[in-house]
């Protein structure tokens, strides 16, 4: 080999390495721009008191107004009381239900797990409408039946209350607990339980004293995620809380931004405060898990034998089945019933049933346009997300890029940002960034918002698959002269395809059901089905809203079932 050839290879390798580093750095900068720019502008503009387009004026008026506006402090207190209450209930009951599904011998466990999976994906607002039909104090079916049977003279249940809001939220909250904890329970070595039983402990005591402490990382992750979801809740509180003057911070932010003129500075100040709290929770969670080792699967006789419940097997099955049906089938069935009612909720009127709601809805050009916006937003967010998330995950897991730890943290950050906060931050970003002005008010803005919102799930799920892939094929590709981008495109991407299809479908589901993230970004021409349904519901046009709700539920359920069939599962990797 000649001397020039020996010099050419290191030079070629160096150039390729520099090109790869440049691409990875650009990716890091893009993720930082998408994630950090809205947050920086959110904080910055809490001190900017001038209206958009006017000369910049700094001051503390926004912060003062944020904490002096009537009802703000009560809204903050209500936010934390509602979030903590339902998380405590769901943490105890969800852990118990996940243990029954994953670690005991109750029958039909896969069917039960599927029902909880669906409960997580069911949109909140349609489910709320189903519960209104059952528990409304004036015309709720359950209240009417109890009165007709002579068991009470006054409505016993009131969906428009603190506990009504907790109840409606419980379905999705229990769903995420069971969905995340069940795989973790299934990976737990049964030898721990067997040792406990040999020592004389019963199944319940073993659960409390042995299994739950070992499962603490997974329990902590579900608690943090559940708390974030609770704090970002918007549509249920808007429909059930505002009529009784029970505000939470998300409805207050919505109120401030939609006032005329919009009160951006106090909305930004309130958003900044909650964002700080949530980021502290996320940092604590990552620090807590990073300092501890909780190995439950080893190569030494790993056992997954279920716990035998004996005579309690079928009562336990009945309990899990009742809860699963109560949070999925019952409200969905009531919602479908509502689409055929002449007057929503009134069963005693002459000839209460009709098909006119469906006829009018399917002929309405506004609904058809919203359906197109929903499908286009979902497909756009799913396709773009798959390509974007998989590249991020590949750099984090498979590369030696110096900034991959920072990239990992940035990709996780949107999970700590409630939808209403992200919506406020993105609204201000789009108003103040000239490159976004031409597409403001279009579905492209909604796609960008949903790509950012779904980034943590997409990246974490892809990471969980990548860490299971050996390096042999990639090394062979590099030996043949392939760079990291070529190796990713020709070797890694085909292997990731099943997981990426799941990511795309979940991205579609998120876009179809999301309200809080896009409620401040959607306009008349970019309105999705969820936003149209919210408009009808807020305007008490329940007959139209129920039809749209059923269409959304059908889209979400079909996508969720396809996702489930492909083995979709949210990863607990942080």
Cβ atoms of 327 and 124 closer than 8 Å: no
**Count of Cβ atoms closer than 10 Å to residue 363 Cβ:** 9
So what's the pLDDT on residue 196?
59
Q: How far apart are CA 130 and CA 117, in angstroms?
A: 19
Q: How far apart are CA 320 and CA 332, in angstroms?
A: 18
Q: How far apart are CA 132 and CA 120, in angstroms?
A: 19
Q: Is it the case that residue 337 has pLDDT exceeding 60?
A: yes
Q: Is it the case that residue 548 has pLDDT exceeding 70?
A: yes
Closest CA to 340 of 539, 123, 550: 550
pLDDT in tens, 502-520: 788 888 888 888 888 888 7
Q: How far apart are CA 455 and CA 443, in angstroms?
A: 18
So what's the pLDDT on residue 366?
86
Most confidently predicted of 100-104, 154-158, 433-437, 459-463: 154-158
Query: Which residues have a Cβ under 8 Å from the Cβ of 300 and sit 6 or more positions away?
Result: none
State the chain's mean pLDDT as an integer. 79
Is the preceding peptide bond at 254 cis, omega within 30 degrees of 0? Answer: no
Q: Is it the case that residue 379 has pLDDT exceeding 50?
A: yes
Q: Is it the case that residue 368 has pLDDT exceeding 80?
A: yes
So what's the pLDDT on residue 416?
67
Q: How far apart are CA 142 and CA 281, in angstroms?
A: 40
Cβ atoms of 303 and 188 closer than 8 Å: no
CATH topology of domain 7-44+359-574: MetI-like fold (1.10.3720)
State pTM to two decimals. 0.77
Q: How far apart are CA 519 and CA 542, in angstroms?
A: 19
For the chain, percent of residues with pLDDT exceeding 70: 79
Question: Which three-class secondary structure string do you get for 469-533?
Answer: CCCHHHHHHHHCCCCHHHHHHHHHHHHHHHHHHHHHHHHHHHHHHCCCCCCCCCCCCCCCHHHHH
Q: Is it the case that residue 540 has pLDDT exceeding 90?
A: no
Half-sphere exposure of 558 (CA within 13 A, CB side): 8
Closest CA to 231 of 248, 247, 211: 248
Q: Is it the case that residue 241 has pLDDT exceeding 80?
A: yes
Give residue 59's Cα distance to chain centre: 35
Closest CA to 561 of 506, 507, 500: 506
**Count of Cβ atoms closer than 10 Å to residue 393 Cβ:** 28
The dihedral sign for the CA sequence 51, 47, 62, 227: positive
So what's the pLDDT on residue 483?
62
Query: Which residues have a Cβ under 8 Å from the Cβ of 493 and sit 6 or more positions away?
Result: 390, 500
Closest CA to 407 of 14, 29, 80: 29
Q: How far apart are CA 400 and CA 398, in angstroms?
A: 7
Least confident of 78-82, 262-266, 484-488, 568-572: 568-572
Q: Is it the case that residue 312 has pLDDT exceeding 50?
A: yes
| pLDDT category of residue 377 using cuts at 50, 70 and 90 | very high
Residue-level length of the chain: 574
So what's the pLDDT on residue 321?
93
pLDDT in tens, 58-87: 888 888 888 787 788 888 889 889 989 998
Average pLDDT on 263-286 reads 75
Rg (CA), the chain: 26
So what's the pLDDT on residue 423?
78
Q: Is it the case that residue 129 has pLDDT exceeding 80?
A: yes
Q: Is pLDDT larger for residue 560 or for residue 571?
A: 560
At CB < 8 A and 24+ separation, what contacts does 57-60 make? none
| pLDDT category of residue 469 using cuts at 50, 70 and 90 | low
Q: How far apart are CA 41 and CA 487, in angstroms?
A: 38
Q: How far apart are CA 31 and CA 22, in angstroms?
A: 14
3-state secondary structure of 30: helix
Q: Is pLDDT larger for residue 354 or for residue 268?
A: 354
Query: Which residues have a Cβ under 8 Å from the Cβ of 189 and sit 6 or more positions away?
Result: 296, 297, 298, 302, 303, 304
Q: Is it the case that residue 11 has pLDDT exceeding 50?
A: no
So what's the pLDDT on residue 573?
43
Least confident of 228-242, 461-475, 497-511: 461-475
Q: Domain spans of the chain? A: 7-44+359-574
Q: Is it the case that residue 541 has pLDDT exceeding 90?
A: no
Q: How far apart are CA 536 and CA 173, in angstroms?
A: 26
DSSP H helical ranges for 364-403: 365-398
So what's the pLDDT on residue 317?
93
In this structure, what are the phi and psi dihedrals at residue 20, rounded to the nearest 5 degrees?
A: -65, -45
Least confident of 170-184, 292-306, 311-325: 292-306
Closest CA to 232 of 277, 186, 195, 264: 277
Closest CA to 570 of 509, 491, 514, 495: 509
Q: How far apart are CA 255 and CA 257, in angstroms?
A: 6
Average pLDDT on 392-410 reads 84
Q: Is it the case that residue 239 has pLDDT exceeding 70?
A: yes
Average pLDDT on 134-144 reads 88
Least confident of 94-108, 205-219, 307-321, 382-396: 205-219
So what's the pLDDT on residue 310?
82
Cβ atoms of 404 and 391 closer than 8 Å: no
Q: Is it the case that residue 215 has pLDDT exceeding 80?
A: no
């Amino acid at each position: 080999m000649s001397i020039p050839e020996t010099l050419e290879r290191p030079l070629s390798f160096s150039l390729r390495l520099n090109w790869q580093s440049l691409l990875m750095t650009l990716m890091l900068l893009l993720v930082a721009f998408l994630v950090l720019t809205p947050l920086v502008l959110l904080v910055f503009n809490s001190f900017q008191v001038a209206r958009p387009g006017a000369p910049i004026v700094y001051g503390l008026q926004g912060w003062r107004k944020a904490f002096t506006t009537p009802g703000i402090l009560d809204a903050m207190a209500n936010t934390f009381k509602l979030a903590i209450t339902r998380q405590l209930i769901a943490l105890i009951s969800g852990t118990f239900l996940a243990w029954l599904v994953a670690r005991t011998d109750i029958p039909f466990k896969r069917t039960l797990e599927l029902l909880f999976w669906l409960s997580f994906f069911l949109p909140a607002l349609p489910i709320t409408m189903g519960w209104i039909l059952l528990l409304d104090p004036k015309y709720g079916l359950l209240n009417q039946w109890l009165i007709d049977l002579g068991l009470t003279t006054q409505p016993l249940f009131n969906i428009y209350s603190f506990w009504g809001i907790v109840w409606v939220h419980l379905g999705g909250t229990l769903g995420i607990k069971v969905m995340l904890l069940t795989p973790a329970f299934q990976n737990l070595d049964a030898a721990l339980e067997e040792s406990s039983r040999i020592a004389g402990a019963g199944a319940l005591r073993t659960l409390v004293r042995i299994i739950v402490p070992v499962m603490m990382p997974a329990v902590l992750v579900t608690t943090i995620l559940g708390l974030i979801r609770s704090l970002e809740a918007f549509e249920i509180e808007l429909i059930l809380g505002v009529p009784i003057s029970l505000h939470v911070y998300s409805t207050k932010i919505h109120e401030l931004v939609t006032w005329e003129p919009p009160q951006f500075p106090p909305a930004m100040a309130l958003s900044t405060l909650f964002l700080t709290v949530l980021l502290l929770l996320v940092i604590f969670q990552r620090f807590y898990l990073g300092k501890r080792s909780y190995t439950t699967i080893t190569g030494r006789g790993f056992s997954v034998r279920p716990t035998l419940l004996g005579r309690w097997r079928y009562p336990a099955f009945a309990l899990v089945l009742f809860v699963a049906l109560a949070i999925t089938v019952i409200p969905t069935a009531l919602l479908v019933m509502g689409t055929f009612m002449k007057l929503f909720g009134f069963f005693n009127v002459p000839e209460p049933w009709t098909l006119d709601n469906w006829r009018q809805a399917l002929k309405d050009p506004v609904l058809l346009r919203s359906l197109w916006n929903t499908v286009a937003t979902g497909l756009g967010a799913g396709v773009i997300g798959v390509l974007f998330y998989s590249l991020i995950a590949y750099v984090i897991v498979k590369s030696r890029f110096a900034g991959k730890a920072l990239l990992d943290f940035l990709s996780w950050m949107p999970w700590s940002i409630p939808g209403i906060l992200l919506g406020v931050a993105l609204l201000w970003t789009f108003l103040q960034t000239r490159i976004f002005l031409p597409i403001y008010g279009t579905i492209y803005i909604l796609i960008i918002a949903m790509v950012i919102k779904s980034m943590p799930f997409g990246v974490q799920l892809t990471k969980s698959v990548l860490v299971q892939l050996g390096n042999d094929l990639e090394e062979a590709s590099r030996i043949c002269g392939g760079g990291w981008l070529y190796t990713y495109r020709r070797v890694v991407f085909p292997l990731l395809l099943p997981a990426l299809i799941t990511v795309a479908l979940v991205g579609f589901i998120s876009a179809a059901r999301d309200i809080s993230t896009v409620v401040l970004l959607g306009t008349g021409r970019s309105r999705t089905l969820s936003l149209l349904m919210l408009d009808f519901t807020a305007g008490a046009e329940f007959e139209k809203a129920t039809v749209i709700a059923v269409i959304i539920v059908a889209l979400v359920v079909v996508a969720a079932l396809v996702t489930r069939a492909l083995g979709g599962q949210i990863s607990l990797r942080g």
